[in-house]
Structure 1
Amino acid sequence: MPNMSTAQSFTRNRHTFAICAYGESPYLAECIESLRAQSDNCSDIFLATSTPNDWIRSTAERYDLPLYINEGDSGIGNDWNFAYSMAHTQYITIAHQDDIYLPDYAKNAVHELNSDPYALLFFTNYGEVRGKKVVTENTLLNVKRLLLKPIENKQKSHKTWRKRAILRFGSSICCPSVTFNAERCPRPPFTAQMSSNLDWDTWEHMSRLDGSFIYDKRILVYHRIHEGSATSKLIANNKRNEEDLLMLQRFWPRPLARLIERAYSRGTASNEL
């Protein structure tokens, strides 16, 4: 994990949606509109990209949003960290360009994080968008909800064993639904060693830190499943299976980790349309 510092300048108790944009996503406008429709209407919103193009520029102009261009190292982890660094509020959500945020997401995130000054991050339950259909129940979603049981009690969600328990069988945290408390999180927050499991890798490192993981059982994000997503591409070239095994070995002896990985890999079929 890179050397990190928690020192940074930010506005306390305020929230930012930092949208990571790349390529020419046909869903970017829908994501932006869901952020502008938040019930508290108090969040800062901007776009960040390492692949500037006319599509992204025109979308930023249409919605009158700042656009920040990452001219340094690119890649998912570096792009997320760059977007995070451009925010100047205490609470930061790295919004995924294809996803939809329900109206009460930001309000609930800020409320829950304000209620626990030692919280590291807030995240929520989620559903999926497949084509034009919203899916809130399937095997993968139900398994992830079961894995999150150890931290449903917010008064106990700071305990290290509970934070690690929700990660030992897979990445149960929905990355697009995460809001970071910049006052408590490392800077930059994301590890960048992995291409598929950089979020799971990051949560695993953060699970060792003092502070709670706040989980909201309400579905407040719709994660879009489509063939052009980065996750779908990584599954197609088997990169994810390799990284899944590396992650599971942090929790289990290698022979047992291999058995769990075989079962876990079947769940990645849920990312195929």
Structure 2
Amino acid sequence: MNYTERNHTFVLCAYKESPYLEECIRSLKSQKRKSQILVATSTPNDYIADIASKYGLSVQINTGEKGIAGDWNFAYGLAETALVTLAHQDDVYEYEYTEKILEAINRCNNPLIAFTDYYELRNGRTVKKNKLLLVKRMLLFPLRWKRLWKSRFTRRRILSLGSAICCPAVTMVKTALPNPLFKNNMKSNIDWQAWEELSKLEGEFAYVAEGLMKHRIHEESTTSELLENNKRKEEDLFMYYKFWPRAMARFIEHFYQSGEKSNKK
């Protein structure tokens, strides 16, 4: 199948009153290849409704399962197209994100997900290189070769060393994936857990080695909060245990944590 923008939906996950929500919407509306945009929230308020209305977007309210996984599964289920990207309200997408994602998916025989490299946004500045970003790019380096996109061994080895795939940079092929996709047993590594399960399936993980979205890091972010209260360490170990004996898992986690702590700087 040749996928086009008509087969793709951005579902923007809005929460409370983020000052960055409008910037995210503008980046979605400004895509070179324009696809459908929906807004999903479990915290309906006038702030979200007014901004969505300003850009002609409908807001769908999650009245079911709560929590990050519940919100993501609700958003994922809203898309009626074969392809869906769960946009996070604090993040920004580059002009060519949709175009490059479609190109990558259309190079596949049996695509599961497609994702891009990403940058960070810190205090209004774009950060293209730091310790954590370099580690993730090193992990994903083998996927620069298309012939490895379908290798279950390669993607499991990548995921066994850390959460290298940035969730809001991922476009999912709904027709090839389970629904619901995310488990509500963690706060931070819900996406890593989903990619680990998908890595066992036959199909392709398509990778675009270009920074085509910017992930905002700030003090109120879920990741920063979890690092502050040490919950991230517990969740990381839970994931490493899926790949490694316990002693090796703890050894790997020690080094990966030092990279994650760049969130505080």
Off by >2 Å, runs of 4+ in structure 1? none
State the Cα deviation string for residues 164-200 of structure 1 (Å, max 9, x = none): 0111111000111000011111112222222110011
Structure 2 SS opposite 1:115: coil
**Alpha carbons 1:129, 1:135 under 8 Å: kept:** yes
CA distance in 2, matches of 1:139, 1:233: 20
CA distance in 1, matches of 2:37, 2:127: 27
RMSD: 1.3
Matched, 1:93 2:85: yes
Q: How does 1:188-203 map to 2 (within 5 A)?
A: 188-203=180-195
Matched, 1:259 2:248: no
State the Cα deviation string for residues 11-65 of structure 1 (Å, max 9, x = none): 9961100000001100000000000000112x10011001111111111111110
Identical counterparts, % of pairs: 48
CA distance in 1, matches of 2:145, 2:14: 35
Which residue in 2 is equivalent to 1:143?
Answer: 135
**Alpha carbons 1:13, 1:91 under 8 Å: kept:** no
- How far the C-alpha of 1:114 sits from its partner, in A, is 2.3
Matched, 1:24 2:17: yes
Q: How many residue pairs end up in the alignment?
A: 262
Which residue in 1 is equivalent to 2:29?
Answer: 36
- How far the C-alpha of 1:238 sits from its partner, in A, is 1.1
CA distance in 2, matches of 1:238, 1:165: 25
**Alpha carbons 1:91, 1:180 under 8 Å: kept:** yes
Structure 2 SS opposite 1:270: helix
Structure 1 SS opposite 2:172: strand
- How far the C-alpha of 1:108 sits from its partner, in A, is 1.2
Which residue in 1 is equivalent to 2:63?
Answer: 71
The alpha-carbon distance between structure 1 residues 146 and 14, as it changes in their structure 2 partners (threshold 3 A), is: same
Which residue in 2 is equivalent to 1:6?
Answer: none
Structure 1 SS opposite 2:232: helix
Calculate the TM-score normalised by the size of structure 1: 0.93
Matched, 1:119 2:124: no
Give unmatched runs, 5+ long, in structure 1. Answer: 1-10
Which residue in 2 is equivalent to 1:271?
Answer: 263
The alpha-carbon distance between structure 1 residues 68 and 269, as it changes in their structure 2 partners (threshold 3 A), is: same
Q: Which residue type is aligned with residue 244 of structure 1?
A: D
**Alpha carbons 2:6, 2:36 under 8 Å: kept:** no
**Alpha carbons 2:120, 2:126 under 8 Å: kept:** yes
Which residue in 2 is equivalent to 1:221?
Answer: 213
Give unmatched runs, 5+ long, in structure 2. Answer: none
- How far the C-alpha of 1:231 sits from its partner, in A, is 1.1
CA distance in 1, matches of 2:138, 2:220: 29
More helix by share: 2
**Alpha carbons 1:158, 1:213 under 8 Å: kept:** yes
Q: How does 1:150-189 map to 2 (within 5 A)?
A: 150-189=142-181
